Structure 1
Amino acid sequence: MNSTEYSYGEKVVEFFKHDEAELSQLIKLKVARYNANAQGLFFKDPAANIEWVCKKPLHLALLDLQEEWRKGYTLVNARYDTLDFKAQLRKPDKVIKSELRTLTDETRADYNKLRYERNAAETARQVSITLSIKRRREEKALAASKVETAEAETAAAAAAALAKIQQDLLDEEAALADLVSAYSQSPGAS
């Protein structure tokens, strides 16, 4: 059996743990399908039954069918259509047991591969979510910093404007005082 090891912890986190019940259910479904189906022209997957077709007259087809019985095949059903004798034969128990072992091993390998792929996809999704959250926090901090900077700039601008207004008032008062002083002197005193 070709066994592939899937390592978790370095690049892939094991979000979906091995579930023996899930694996057993998959194996049960594959075994049920194996027992229900027959290999033939249209069904190539392993199956406990095979579609046997003989394009000979009935008496010659039955002689050929006896050869299959000697190999251990048993008859499930049969029909004769025009010139074709068709039968569904069940494989010998020894062959079925061997194929079921192989089917179980393949199902286990497929389950481990599928589980690893699901874990890899979930790991990528979780990393993406984490990065998105980090970016949003950084953007929020940057926006808050910009607001604080803008508030500080606004406060500085307001203070400068207030200082200018106060200076203008002082200048205005000084100009008025000069005017009052200049015009309040008596005309004959100069």
Structure 2
Amino acid sequence: MLREGKADFSMPDLAAEAGVSFATPFNQFGSKAAIMQALSTRRIDTMQTRFAAAPSLTDTAERVLLAIDMAVAVMLEKPDVNRAVMGWLGTASPSPSQVWVRSMALWTLALGAGEGLIAARREQALVCLPRQLAVAFRGVLSFWTAGELPDEALATEARAVARTLLLGFSGWQPSASSSQAV
């Protein structure tokens, strides 16, 4: 239904479309918000699977930017569906979702052992950056979802926020040409 632009479907609409009883979507998920959270979790799992299958990079900052690029690619494969899913993520659900936990797992994977990060700050980075990258990426996605950020700017803005978060933990210094992006 989301692929057909029907993001405002009801649970009874979903049951009818799926050819199941009225109660089945409620029994399986509990709410429409829970369905959207499950779809978001699937997107994050796809991002993580693709990242894990990518060629290995030795530098943490490069790995984080690769994870950003892969995450953006997943979101842009079905932008209308993903915008609809993202639009529901702030909606309360009867049970907590796994979206934040899964997102932090993606960024933890991207950070690896922190190769290339400042040694004195590596441990702190590996503790705080997964959470901050998850929040930052979701923030960029919220502007994209709202239509304030066009598809073609999603990667640039997501990379810029990741670079900004990495500034205090890596030896990376923005060049004159990249300083505007940060």
TM-score for the superposition, normalised by structure 1: 0.22
If asked which structure has higher relative contact order (CA below 8 Å, sep 6+), I would say 2
Higher strand residue share: 1
